[in-house]
Amino acid sequence: MEAAQMQATMPAAAPKQKLVAFLLAFFLGGFGVHNFYLGKTGMGVAQLILTITVVGALVSLPWAFVQSIMIIMGKIDDANGNPLV
């Protein structure tokens, strides 16, 4: 019962900004920074590891570019499923 009361009093996290996510994806997307911002840590680590390897960068950079387009189109949500504002 106490956990439910505590959860009810905790403030909701601020919504993630679409413009911030887009800029991070466009300029630093190869490193997965936008995924860390959106709370998608696993995907961010995957992109970071791919970028560190030279061959993986050939996959990670186009992946980030496509994700930046998808962010602008509103097709990507944060890790909790909340739409970007």
Per-residue pLDDT of the chain (85 residues; tens, 9 = 90+): 555 555 556 677 889 999 999 999 999 999 999 999 999 999 999 999 999 998 888 999 999 999 999 999 999 999 999 999 9
The domain segmentation of the chain, as residue ranges, is 14-73
In whole angstroms, what is the distance from residue 70 CA to residue 48 CA?
Answer: 19
The confidence score (pLDDT) of residue 54 equals 83
Quick check: 16 and 78 in contact, CB under 8 A? yes
Residue 68 is given by DSSP the state H
Residues near 43 by beta carbon (within 8 Å), at least 6 away in sequence: 32, 35
